[in-house]
Structure 1
Amino acid sequence: MAKGCGYLLASLMMLVGVLIMTNALPGALDPGVVVVALLLLPIALGAFVIVHDTRRIKAAEAAEERLLARERDHVIRTVDFVADPLLTEDERLEIIDCFIPRLGRSAAASPYRDRFVVVSELAPSARDLLERARAAVMSVYTSEVMRLRLLDGLANEVLLPGQLWEIALLLRVQTHLHEEQREARQGVVTPELLAVLEPQQKALRRSIDAVTARIESLERYAHRVQEADAALRAKAALGNNDKYRALLAHTDDDEGMRELAAHGDALEETLARSVRQAIEAGQTLTS
């Protein structure tokens, strides 16, 4: 309202200025020029208003984008969740926005609720299992053989995120079923109730055992990758053998020099074998 009044006041002042000049200099200004000026005045003012509003809107949009980026970064740092790796970037941002109170959205009502798992919603034992799986995957991602692209790209870039997502999803279902079991056992537990609950509990335990076995497979794969990394470090250390050969040559130790050479030859095969074993361990994750 105040802005509209300001524009109106500016328009009136410009109009008054033109009228004053017309009256003060009746012979100096052509009436046609005055008419044209009066006609162009609202057009010029309208153009000014449009430019001003456009800049104001763009500035507001830029400020909103900066604020939203900071809020999303805060969610990423403070809300621990596992998302379906097949989500698009826009879908992932939609999920993140559910945890920004200012936007008034609810994670529980999100259309993508079945495509992310909030870690805090899991039972403590389920969180421990998920942390083990994450640690194994991170160990692979941060390995030197991964950086050098010596491992199976499919296993690392596609299979591992999928494994982690499936594990998180199963752990959430198990958490909910465990809670149902706990609630069902409150109060008097009759033989009839046990007849219903015990087979369900047995199925739940089998599912937990199966998920645990999957996590152990991930851990075995991560261990193989660490062994391959160790072989790489050994190969790097092999580059120092020339210094030790020179030392042994100065001490006339021919046998020691032969041993160093033999170790160097064997190390190449050790490295190749370690990488092969890591790749084979990754391939077993698909079975």
Structure 2
Amino acid sequence: MAEVVVDPGVPPEDAQLIRNSKLVLIRMRRGWVPEPPRKAGRSKGLAGMLLVLAALMVTLGVASRGIGLLLLAFVAVPVLVVTFIRNDLAEEDEEAAVDREIYEQLRWYEGRYVLAEDLEESSRRLLSRAQRAIAAVTESAVNAEGLLDDVRNSVMLPAQEWQIARLLAKLSALRAKHRETVIGGGPEVAAVAEPLARALDSSEAAVVARVEALERYAANVAEAERAFRAHHQIEELRGRLHQYEELVAESGADGFAVPEIERLSRDADQLDQALRRSLSSAHEAFRYLDPGPPPSD
């Protein structure tokens, strides 16, 4: 099951970043916020102190004619100053910078992705069922061969997954709030809460209907897949038919050959018909799922 479902309208690179950021999302749900970038103040202050020290060393060196102090003041201290400033300009380690960038991206797209951990258990099971059905369609050979409407599948199925995930996230959040509000309430609260609970159940039933429609579509595609594979196996056997005929003729088993070969041809014809019927059923199931273009204003 995909742990993060992203709105298909999010640009692909950003969507992949969101999908790969499950751990950061979980930390955000627990209240984590990255620290702001550090300022370079401390090192600048230290650098100032070092410059004052260098000036003092120059003064003492000139007064005492100490070559060592002068060299230290003019060579070592500037090197230390540059080192401190350069290290502080980095401000923070790379990991913290990456985490903050991901955090900003996730905040920007808030509401356009659903984390599986945000869903209650029953909603996670429903989402998982939908995703299995979608995978069964998109990974099928009949889809890869273009026997289904693979272009519309590539648009419609991710949209269905997103709508199901989005509705389940809203349902889970509202149910949790509903339970918190009505727990321990008296008969007056129960009387008001009951129809609202039914509204939640009704919404869940509507999502279940969407998932079941996807599963029917996947079942039809699976039937077409079986017929498609059988069709190819029979065609492979038919391609070697002359070899069987030669062997039968050479072995003197002609009486066996004719009825078996005729049955093979009948089986191939029946499989062709079964494949066409199953593909037709899959297309019908697809049309049931596809709402079509929105009405024009």
Superposition TM-score tier, normalisation by shorter sequence: 0.5 to 0.7
Give the aligned partner of residue 194 of structure 2. 198
Q: Which runs of 5+ in 2 are unaligned?
A: 25-33, 35-95, 292-297
Partner of 1:252: 255
Does residue 284 of structure 1 match 2:207?
no
Instruction: Determine whether 1:214 maps to 2:210.
Output: yes
Which residue, out of 156, 165, 168, partners 1:159? 156
| Residue 7 (structure 2) aligned to one of 61, 76, 84 | 84
User: What CA distance in whole angstroms lies between the structure 2 residues aligned with 1:252 and 1:98?
Assistant: 68
Supply the AA of the counterpart residue of 2:15.
R
CA–CA distance in structure 1, aligned partners of residues 22 and 160 of structure 2: 25
| Equivalent pair of 1:174/1:208 in contact (CA under 8 Å) | yes
Tell me how far 1:87 sits from its aligned partner: 0.6
CA gap 1:258/1:89 in 2 versus in 1, 3 angstroms = closer
Instruction: Report the equivalent of 2:62.
Output: none
Is residue 98–residue 107 contact of structure 1 (8 Å, CA) maintained in 2? no
**8 Å Cα contact 2:4/2:22 also seen in 1:** no
How far apart, CA to CA, are the structure 1 residues paired with 2:16 and 2:263? 59
Measure how far apart 1:154 and its partner are.
Answer: 4.3
Q: Secondary structure at the match of 1:117?
A: strand
* CA distance, structure 2, for counterparts of residue 93 and residue 230 of structure 1: 33
Please tell me whether the aligned partners of residues 5 and 114 of structure 2 are also in contact (alpha carbons under 8 angstroms). yes
Residues 109 and 218 of structure 1, relative CA distance in 2, 3 Å threshold: closer
Give the letter for the 1:197 counterpart: A
CA distance in 2, matches of 1:165, 1:87: 11
Taking the aligned partners of 1:245 and 1:129, their CA distance within structure 2 comes to 54
In the alignment, which residue of structure 1 is the partner of 2:270? 266
Q: Deviations over 1:162-187 (max 9, x none)?
A: 00000000000110111012112322
Cα deviation, residue 280, structure 1 = 1.5
Note if 1:141 corresponds to 2:138.
yes
Calculate the TM-score normalised by the size of structure 1. Answer: 0.66
3-state SS of the aligned residue for 2:255? coil
Deviation at 1:98, TM superposition (A): 8.6
Q: 1:93 to 1:131 in 2, by over 3 A?
A: closer
- Name the % identity: 35
Q: Separation in 1 of the partners of 2:179 and 2:105?
A: 23
Alpha-carbon shift at residue 236 of structure 1 (Å)? 1.4
Note if 1:178 corresponds to 2:145: no
Q: Deviations over 1:124-158 (max 9, x none)?
A: 11100000000000111110011111111344111
Runs of at least 4 residues of structure 1 off by over 3 A? 93-101, 105-109, 243-249
Deviations 1:80-130 (A, max 9, x none): 210000111354266456955722354897121110001111101110000
Amino acid at match of 2:228: L
Computed over aligned residues only, the root mean square deviation of the Cα atoms, in angstroms, reads 2.6
Residues of 1 paired with 2:182 and 2:246: CA distance?
76
Q: Tell me which amino acid in the other structure corresponds to 1:233.
A: R
Shift of 1:248: 6.7
What is the 5 A alignment of 1:28-67?
A: none
How far apart, in 1, do the equivalents of 2:3 and 2:210 lie? 22
Q: 1:195 to 1:167 in 2, by over 3 A?
A: same
More deviation, 123-132/243-252: 243-252
Quick check: 1:228–1:274 contact (8 Å CA) kept in 2?
yes
Q: 1:149 to 1:126 in 2, by over 3 A?
A: same
TM superposition score normalised by structure 2? 0.64
